[in-house]
A and B are shown apart, each in its own frame.
Chain A
Amino acid sequence: MEPTLLGRIGYAFVSLFVITNYGLLLIGSMARISAKVQGRVGQPVWQPYIDIIKSSAKRNAIGHGVMFYLGPVFRLAGGIGTYMFIPAVFGSVVFRNFSDSGDLLLVMYFIFFGQLGMALGAGEGGHPYSAIGVSRGLAQMTAFEVPFALSVIAVAVQYGTLDINAIVAAQQGGFARWTLATNPLAVVAAIIAFLGMSGHNPFSVVIAPQEIPIGPPTEYQSNLLGMLQTNRAIFNGAKLVLYMNLFFGGATNIVAMVIKTFLIYFVNVFVGQAFPRFRTDQSIRFFLGVPTLIGIASVIIAVI
């Protein structure tokens, strides 16, 4: 039964609430696991909650102007919006979100919305490092989009549709029907792209300017930082859900979703840790090399 508009908005909030909390916990637990692996105690799992609450409560020290304030708004809206356009749980009315706004292409492009706004906001902050970071990030982005696009094309070709629901539907019926099984090359290409997309090692040079402790995070403080932190949770979750839908058979219930996304994230992070950091030009060449070939191969497989 088709819910009313008000009902849909209500469901959307529920869905958003779930993903936010899940995302925060995911970050917290991943940091904890990382620490354990490295032999440290690490932060509590709920540390992200504390961070956000603390940030939001703080006084705003300085502001650089309208675009500066709008940057986090764009960012968070981008994260939420991306999630809103993805059906999180197959067949669930609650987690269907607003995926009828558009298909896979809409999601892929809406990812840019937040990034663009964030970059602009940081730009108005006036700090040169933010510009350097954006420059690197965008440069790298053009490169990892290629294998990602190829794997998405492979999926679309394979299932004959760009509709995420339909893609998930086509993968129902056991592991053998997952894209992971039917077109593993596409998954490989997409996973490599994901590392770049998330700025994990070895593609983390993008956020290097922020590591020097005076980058945009210092410009952005208090509630603005809180929004960014919130977004990190939601956006990360949205991307994981998208990957799950495309390559790992989607999820028919919330538990499956949690397990699957957790595993995806886990693999990603720890695969990445094994490599040293690339310079920007190196990572661009890398993405346009082997992963792109893998992507092309995956398309060929899909066509065949």
Chain B
Amino acid sequence: MVNPLYLFAASLAAAFLLPLVDKLGRRVSLALVYATIAAWGAVALSYLWALLYAGVGARAFGTAGFVAPLAIMLRVGPEEAAGLLAISGVGLLAAGAMRRPLAEAPIGGAMTLITALMGMSGIVLTRDLFNLFVFLEIASISTYGLIAFDDRRGALRAGFKYMIAGGIASALYLIGVIYVYRFSGHLNLDMAAAAPGLFGGAGTIAVFFLLAALLVELKPFPANGWAIDAYQTADPGVSAILSGASATALLLALWKVMPLLGEAHLAAVAGSGLATFAAGNLAGARQGRARRMLGYSSVAQVGLVAAVAALDRLLGLGGLRFTYLVAGGLLLNHLLAKTGLFLLSSAIGDDEAARGGAAGKRGEGALSPFGAVVAGVLAAALVGLPPFPGFWAKWTLIQALAGRESWWLIALILGASLVEAFYVLRWLIAIVKGEAGALAKGERGTIEPGAPIPARIRLGAGALAPALAAAALVVSGVMLGWNLSVSDPLLWAPFAAAAILFAIDRAPGWLKSLLSIAAAAAFGWLAYDRLDGLRQLFAIMLLGGGAMYSFAAMYKGGARRGLHPLLSAATLALGSVLVAETPLGFFFAWETMTLASFLLVLRGRESRAAALSYIVFGLGGAFLLMVGLVAIPGAWSSGSTGSAGAGWPVFLILAGLLVKLGALGAHVWLPGAYAESDDEASGFLSSSLSKAGVFVMVVALAAFGRVLPFQATSMRILGWIGLATALFGALYAIYQEDIKKTLAWSSMGQIGYVILALAIYDQAGWTTALYLALNHFLYKSMLFLAIAGVIQRVGTRNMYEMGGLIKKMPFSFLSVLMAIIALSGVPPLSGFGGKWLLYSSLLEKGWYIEAAVAFFASAVAFLYLFRLIHTIFLGQPKPSQAMVREAPLALTIPQGLLMVVLFAVSAFPRLMLDPIMRVVGEAFDPVLRFEGSALVSPLGYWDGTLSMIVTIAVFALCFLWMIANLHNPQTVKQFNIVYAAERPFRPETTHYAWNFYAPYEKALGFLTRHRGERFWAAVGTGVDAVGGAIRRVYTGNGQTYALHVVLYVVALYLLMGAL
């Protein structure tokens, strides 16, 4: 291993000579700067190689030819090597992005950059407490210089505040160091830790001062206003260095002094870190200014990392490996993501302090596709989505905490993470979509010809550093995942597919569609052996559905950039949910699905608010699910069934799934997400993706349903939740003018029936549930596909702007007709089977009131279904839609296939019911059975085949009579009606479509006042208010910040005394 002293020598020499070198030109001197930083990186890599692969142990280096205790020691171990690499990596990225300001400012800027990074590296390497101080000061003073180097007003203001806080911290540190020397007799860290004098009594206080200084430098809540101001105002590169490199160095300093800390100290670190995490994120939620928001996120993340290291020591979460994995993973995630985001914020002109009016640039438009991918990766990583390091770290952390039953900590961490996800993704959405959407401000969903197309912001060279950070995140995430033995290729398939399809994103759409289908097929083939009966059923809906929608995606020409990769990734993620064998593997697949579907929603036109609430609820549900999974040992392991240990955690799983399924109360994300995404993506979300939640609920209930606490009551409550979902989904649907909103609410209602049926919890109920799920997939697919065609042809989603399309789009009409007959449960189509099964099992179970309400709900469904078909296809056409044609083949072919399937399973119910009953029969005693073609329940019977025959026969009879009696009618145009004794002159007025159910609204509208939305809005307001209150602390007055620092230290001291 190279002696790191040479690096210091080289850095200093470079820095010292820089003013001379600068005489040769700024290019040369900057090259020297980059070379110096790169040298650190190269050496750090060589250390890592030696330590991890060549098997060399950690090594200490003396200085001046002496060793400790006389001389200062430097140590190179794994954490040091990684820290050095992080610092130089961030430094190089930031320095690259700062090329212009560095070239324009005096050479002092470049000089302080080198010394700053050298100082941070010194903090990492040194094992001497006073030397640590020296390097802290090098780093701080260089930082003060760097903050001011390009002379921004705001940065100067912030820099002064930064100095005040830094000065207080230095004083604290010096006092701590000298008393540590006094009580231990050593300045060398390892020797001081071995000396007895530091533990108990005055030594504890000495260590406290040391610790307090480091904690203050780590920017704890509330003593961090100075740092946030600096993040906000300095050059983004400097912010990146502060947030990434400096935090790494300081965290490693904290890590270093950990051996000196007692329990009370550790508790203080943990408490302070967690409080910072929570408060930082809450304050960030209110931030509109991007840079400041990233600042809040930074302090929060660093607080969490610090807390994790302390918690491991306090609770014994898993030792060194655990800390490396979790704290290291979180830190790596944070520093790469934050570096990338800070630099990205400057590249897109979100850097409000930037000179010369560039601040408005962001308002002009959306990111270019490449930029959007980079931004997406960075933001997703920051939020802790897979496959990035933060995801693995979060899982491991929560799992360990659950092992210690620290539920409050889990709640705190996840709650704050959710808030963070909210504001980070809100920003992502804003920059990806642009401030002004493509649609005019007027009518929702209409494309006005003159509306401005948003400009694509091209990042150019500014994207390089963020892209590199993103790439590093991907690589490290994959490596970490592999390390945690999530190595099943099928689990990674979604990412592979997305990457490949993104790579050929410019290719024509049909090629990508075919590739997506092939990917789904290949996945199914590879996974076939691992699919049991239940999983096969769901594979049809999930993989088959995904492939079908990929096919349908061809209905619009062009490359449709971004759609196919996301659709394919989401499809394969659904597949991997089916094949996951471990809890982590499952959760990985689940979050992958959440991520892919979020991006899919985001791709829609006016989807900003919808996508945000989709992902926030998605993550919230996922967090509940995660806690449930880790709280039940052995959950999701193959063949696990109810163990006595599983109790209330199952409720968490169920609650998480209910959120995902959009059960009433947690449904507010649903209509927006389904309505605003691309039309075929909506169909995919509604008919395929929602079944993933059903699948997991089936598995979870199968395993743990019998050991639920208060089993009967719980199930009854679950049933009522499902029932309420069904009823209110239908009620909401009838008042929508937007066709996709109607379908969205309808989906919610249909899933409600599935939940209700699952809650019945016997063979009949579960048969019903699976049958309903499969049927919903069939007819909701038909509806969404047909509607996609309609929307494409007429260019609007408002039903009252359509009409009379039956003549133009007869096939779509037929498809919708079949679908709504099936959906409403009118015999002889298979939908009736669902109704029959549902009522039979409800009555058999004795849930009579539920049955009546379900009957009411299904009657209400008629309303919106009739409105759907009537206002679109019947009535009077719009003159502007005279040239509308039938939907493209890409849509009609799948619809045709689905119609055939629908007829087949309607006429021969056993086709669908036999497999279902085989699956369900493994878990329950039989209630239903087949006698020939008749399905028999204890209460009644239903013969699908016979009823189909009778209906067809009767229908044919009537039809023949009609034909036979038809006396050469004169077929007239659609407008040819007699209306108040005249032919209508302006046909629009005669199409009864808008506010179709006005009387119903009058009678029952009070039920649909969107209380759920209001509740969650109130929750949001509450979080907002708390965040607003917290950030009132940050008055902007540097002196108040100083007061905060001192008060923080005092409070910590008193708390520690109390412990």
Contacts and interface: CB of A to CB of B under 8 A. Distances in A.
A109 B827 contact: yes
A139 interface: yes
A126 B975 contact: yes
A59 B852 contact: no
A102 B941 contact: yes
B969 A60 contact: yes
B638 interface: no
A145 B999 contact: no
Contacts of A61: 969-970
Given A131-B992, A141-B862, A280-B999, A106 B832 contact: yes
Contact of A135 (B961, B962, B999): B999
Contacts of B851: 149, 153
Contacts of A282: 1003
B942 A106 contact: yes
Contact of B875 (A128, A162, A280, A284): A128
Nearest to B843: A156
A101 B950 contact: yes
B969 A110 contact: no
A295 B941 contact: no
Contacts of A64: 971-972, 974, 976
Given A126-B874, A136-B999, A65 B866 contact: no
Interface string A68-85: 011011101100110011
A126 B962 contact: no
Interface of B is mostly: helix
A156 B939 contact: yes
Given A116-B866, A135-B992, A124 B947 contact: no
B911 interface: no
A222 interface: yes
B804 to A, nearest CB: 7
A279 to B, nearest CB: 7
Interface size range of chain B in the complex: 35 or more
B974 A126 contact: yes
A106 B951 CA distance: 12
A125 interface: yes
A113 B951 contact: yes
Contact of A120 (B870, B939, B954, B1000): B870
Contacts of A77: 951, 954-955, 957-959
B924 interface: no
Nearest to B1004: A284
A137 B804 CA distance: 21
A58 interface: yes
A102 B827 contact: yes
Interface in B438-472: none
A284 B1004 CA distance: 8
A186 interface: no
Contacts of A162: 840, 843, 937, 939-940
A105 interface: yes
Contact of B941 (A58, A76, A139, A163): A163
B824 interface: yes
B990 to A, nearest CB: 5
Contacts of A109: 825-827, 832, 835-836
B690 to A, nearest CB: 25
B824 A63 contact: no
Contacts of A120: 817, 869-870, 874
Given A110-B947, A227-B958, A280-B1000, 20 more contacts: A61-B970, A63-B970, A77-B957, A102-B942, A102-B946, A109-B835, A119-B870, A123-B873, A126-B875, A131-B870, A134-B870, A135-B998, A141-B859, A142-B1000, A145-B855, A146-B852, A153-B848, A281-B1003, A299-B849, A299-B852
Interface of A: 56, 58-67, 69-70, 72-74, 76-77, 80-81, 84-85, 98, 100-106, 109-110, 112-113, 116, 119-120, 123-128, 131-132, 134-136, 138-139, 141-143, 145-146, 149-150, 153, 156-157, 160-163, 214, 218-219, 222-224, 226-227, 279-282, 284-285, 288, 295-296, 299, 303
28 contacts: A58-B967, A60-B966, A60-B967, A61-B969, A70-B959, A72-B962, A77-B957, A84-B954, A100-B941, A101-B942, A102-B836, A103-B941, A106-B836, A109-B832, A109-B836, A120-B874, A123-B869, A124-B874, A126-B976, A126-B977, A127-B979, A128-B876, A128-B991, A141-B859, A142-B860, A145-B856, A214-B980, A281-B1003
